[in-house]
Amino acid sequence: MKALPPFRNAAPGSALWLLGHELRHAWYGAAVNRAGKRRPATTTLVIGLLGWVALHAFAYALLSKLGDAARADRLLAVAAGAPLLISSTFMLSQALRSSVIVLFERGDLDLLLSSPLPSRSVFATRLLGVAVSTGTLYMFLFSPFANVGLVFGRPGWLAIYPVVGALATLAACIGMLLTLLLVRLLGARRTRVVAQVVAALAGAALFLLTQAYNFVSRGSDPNATAHLTKRLIAGGMLAPDSLLWLPGRAALGDILPLLAVVLLAVAAFALTLKRTHRFFVHGLQEAASTSRARARPGGPPRLRVRHSLFDTVVIKEWRLIARDPHLVSQVLLQLIYLAPMLFLILSKGDAPLAPIGASLPLLCASLTASLAWIMISAEDAPDLLLSAPAPLRLIRLAKLAAAAMPPLLLVALPLAWLVVRAPVAGLMVCFAVSGAVLEAGLIVLWLGRPAPRSNFKVRGKENFVCTVFEMVNILSWGAAGWLLVAMTLPDSDMSALGAAAALAAASVTLLLAWLFRRRPG
Amino acid sequence: MTDLQFDKHAPSALRLHGLHKSFGRPAVDGLDLEVRRGELYALLGPNGAGKTTTLRMVTGLLAPDAGQVEVFGIDMARDPAAAKRRLAYLPDDPMLYGKLKPTEYLEFVAGLWGMRAEDAEPRAHRLLDWLDLTPHAHELSEGFSRGMKQKLALAGALIHEPELLILDEPLTGLDAAAARQVKDLLLSHVEGGGTVILTTHILEVAERLAQRIGIIRQGRLIAEGTLAELRERTQGGSLEDVFLQLTESR
């Protein structure tokens, strides 16, 4: 990528020049630049620009409706603060990931630290690079409100720019401090895994908290949501004057909160630089070079060669998954969004059956597709399997079974509960779950493309066709589960017809996946 | 060159006939080659000559566009399982699972080749000892050095006692001690009646180990024979001289 104007003329070795280097690398690793191209593709630029214009239109429509309502001003700090706070959890997640990348994965740290550049500048620009890469997306999302605010005679809203920058800087500092602390406590190798798991959890933290709040309050307080709103209005801890909404008030141009937020970010940056610079230069290198895991001596090595190839493959797949906590956390995070269903089952004895009938196939199909991708498409040593005399068909069957068994075990208990409570409906859900799992695995087997495990999160972008088939499968079996259960309930006029349509959609999807299957090249 | 003796009239362990493979342009172009049983054969050639493509066709990883691969008289296209049962392949990049321990890796490979537990277990222990991997048997291989990974992959290749061992650049990135271990192991495999085919850019290795050397260029075999025969043909000195003379003269 050609350097941007401010960096193009920077003196080699200057802080600005180093920052340009950081940002260039951040662009190469950016999610929108999976191909690692030097320049953004024209399509990317056009889509980005259109999206930005659309956000301006959205902001305009929203602010037009807001008008001059007196109550709005009072709650505006909350309305502005809430998205900023939510975004902060995602920023922290991104900052943690970026910190791991810039400290361990980019591989240019030795080069920079062995050069005559001051190590403090190297660390400062690295930290700044993390802040910029963390804040860019949110600047893109929030800046239209600042610009449109100007049109509506609210120039104070231009403070959104420094506030987003300050929040990104704070997230970068916390992310870097946490990463370096983990290095000190756990060593470099474990830090990579733990930081990525924490990053994944930080991204979902808000959702988890709201679900936990719903769950805890459901038993004792049936009107929990109403009471929360009341507390918000009445002046409790979530009142508009609360410190919690300080970023919101700052973003609206309130001068003191703005100063506080910006000064906090500057202080955090300076403090991070001062407190961790030495460890960054010396400790990190030592930790990285002594990070090889030493297993405890466990007596003489024992081999357990199994009699069946099927068992051998299944055990190998499960071992590989179980020893990859980062991957496990990514897979399980997908399921967090199905947590409300579990809360429903656990909290109510008279839970509605049809939503459960939809949720279980959804959950199983989603989990099976993820595991099947890891086990089949992301096989680490495909040449070993191909060069072995073992029948490939049996190996694939074992991989499918290894991917299908964990989801089935996971839903075994809810299914058993359902069968006991409503036998016919329970059996219908068993059928839907089985169909969903089988089809999810077969779609990946037929349409999946080889890829490294590290591509798990972006697999959807890399194989769009497979993702579409997976989605249709998940939705078809979810709908089938719902409607098959509804058929067993009174007043189920159109359920049979709907169930037949959903099952037909699932069957057609399977047939199409088979027709479009990849043939060995 | 090694002092190992081999029977010039021994039946072939590997026979390639008119092998073709093209990726837009021909990578292997009508290759005819024969490797005898009990022989250590070095396949040499400049970068992009078609060595790896040839080995991948021999091991059944790539299907040839035309031609035939026979392993101990078994046609790879007709009965791949029977052919693969008698060979092992060790590519340049070891085929390992970082999240498996050495013992678990060997268990898995033994399972793929359908070995019985009572045969696999003592053999695995012997290989781990031989390659100095026993002290690391409880560690995940993702933390291993390049040399240790290569040795583990070699243990995996040898666990089912293949009659034909095919190695692509087996000594790349190994330190002197590990390289010596691998070379000793290959010689011992041949002494035990096995056949080895290897590619290497380290000509000294081919010069010391190989009984016969084949040189390919642009997917074709341009010279073949013992080191003495190749020297005679080119009036060259070392194998390096012979190699450069042959590959740069056309």
Q: Residue B97: which of A306, A381, A388 has the nearest Cβ?
A: A381
Residues 6+ apart with CB under 8 A from A254: A77, A156
Look at residue A285 and tell me whether its pLDDT is greater than 80: no
Residues 113-132 of B with CB under 8 A from A: 113-117, 120-121, 124-125, 128
- Whether the per-residue pLDDT at A218 is higher than 80: the answer is no
Q: Would you state the structure tokens that stand for residue A177, as one six-digit string?
A: 């401090």
Report, as an integer, the average pLDDT of A297-314: 81
A483: pLDDT strictly greater than 50: yes
The pLDDT assigned to A188 comes to 72
**Average pLDDT, stretch A122-127?**
87
Quick check: A521 pLDDT over 60? no
- Could you tell me the pLDDT band of residue A225, with boundaries at 50, 70 and 90? low
Burial class (CB in 10 A: 0-12, 13-18, 19+), A471: middle
Burial call A423-436: b when 16+ CB within 10 Å, e when fewer: eebbebbbbbbebb
Report residue A303's pLDDT band, with 50, 70 and 90 as the boundaries: confident
User: How many Å apart are CA A227 and CA A244, to the nearest integer?
Assistant: 18
Each residue of A129-160: pLDDT tens digit?
A: 899 989 988 999 999 999 998 888 888 889 99
Interface contact A297-B138, CB threshold 8 A: yes
Whole-number pLDDT of residue A410? 87
| Contact residues on chain A for B97, CB-CB shorter than 8 A | 316, 320, 380-381
> Is B180 a residue whose pLDDT tops 80?
yes
Checking if the pLDDT of B193 tops 60, the result is: yes
User: Which of residues A333 and A40 earns the better pLDDT score?
Assistant: A333
Alpha helices in A29-69 (DSSP H): 42-66
Residues from chain B that touch A402, judged by Cβ atoms under 8 A, are none
What percentage of residues in chain A have a pLDDT greater than 70? 79
* pLDDT for residue A73: 63
Which is higher by pLDDT, A252 or A66?
A252
- Give residue-wise pLDDT tens across range B117-159: 889 999 999 999 988 899 999 899 988 988 899 999 999 999 9
pLDDT band at A68 (very low <50, low <70, confident <90, very high): low
Q: Strands B66-71 and B74-75: what pairing?
A: antiparallel
Given a cut of 70, whether residue A2 has pLDDT beyond it is: no
- Give whichever of A325-329, A358-362, A461-465 has the largest mean pLDDT: A358-362
Portion 94-113 of B in contact with A at CB < 8 A? 95-104, 106-113
Residue A70's pLDDT is: 42
Q: What average pLDDT is seen over chain A?
A: 81
Taking alpha carbons only, the member of A186, A195, A194, A168 closest to residue A284 is: A186
Interface contact A305-B137, CB threshold 8 A? no
Residues of A in contact with B81 (CB under 8 A): 389-391
- Between positions 142 and 171 of B, the ones with CB within 8 A of A are 143, 156
* Mutation choice for A interface testing from B138, B140, B148 by most A CBs within 10 A: B138
Whether A348 shows a pLDDT value over 80: the answer reads no
Q: Residue A71 pLDDT more than 50?
A: no
**CB interface of A with B, residues 164-203, below 8 Å:** 189
Contact state of B96 with A298 under an 8 Å Cβ cutoff: no
- Hey, is the C-beta of A393 within 8 angstroms of any chain B C-beta? no
The CA distance from A317 to A403, in Å, is 8
Render pLDDT for B196-224 as a digit per residue (tens, 0 to 9). 999 988 888 888 899 999 999 999 999 89
Q: How far apart are CA B100 and CA B103, in angstroms?
A: 8
A301 and B125 within 8 Å at the Cβ level: the answer is yes
Name residue A13's amino acid: G
**pLDDT number for residue A34:** 54
Q: Residue A325 pLDDT > 90, yes or no?
A: no
Is the predicted pLDDT of residue A116 greater than 60, yes or no?
yes
Sheet holding B66-71, edge to edge: B25-36, B12-23, B66-71, B74-75
Residues A446-466: tens digit of each pLDDT: 999 888 887 887 787 778 889
Give the pLDDT mean for A504-518. 93
Instruction: Decide if A519 touches B, using CB distance below 8 A.
Output: no
At residue A190 the predicted structure's pLDDT band, cuts being 50, 70 and 90, is confident
Name every chain A residue with its beta carbon within 8 A of the beta carbon of B121.
303, 305
How confident is the model over A158-179, as pLDDT tens digits?
999 999 999 999 999 999 898 8
Cβ-contact A457, A330 below 8 angstroms: yes
- Judged against a pLDDT cut of 60, whether residue A339 lies above it is answered with yes
Residue of chain A whose Cα is closest to the Cα of B123: A303
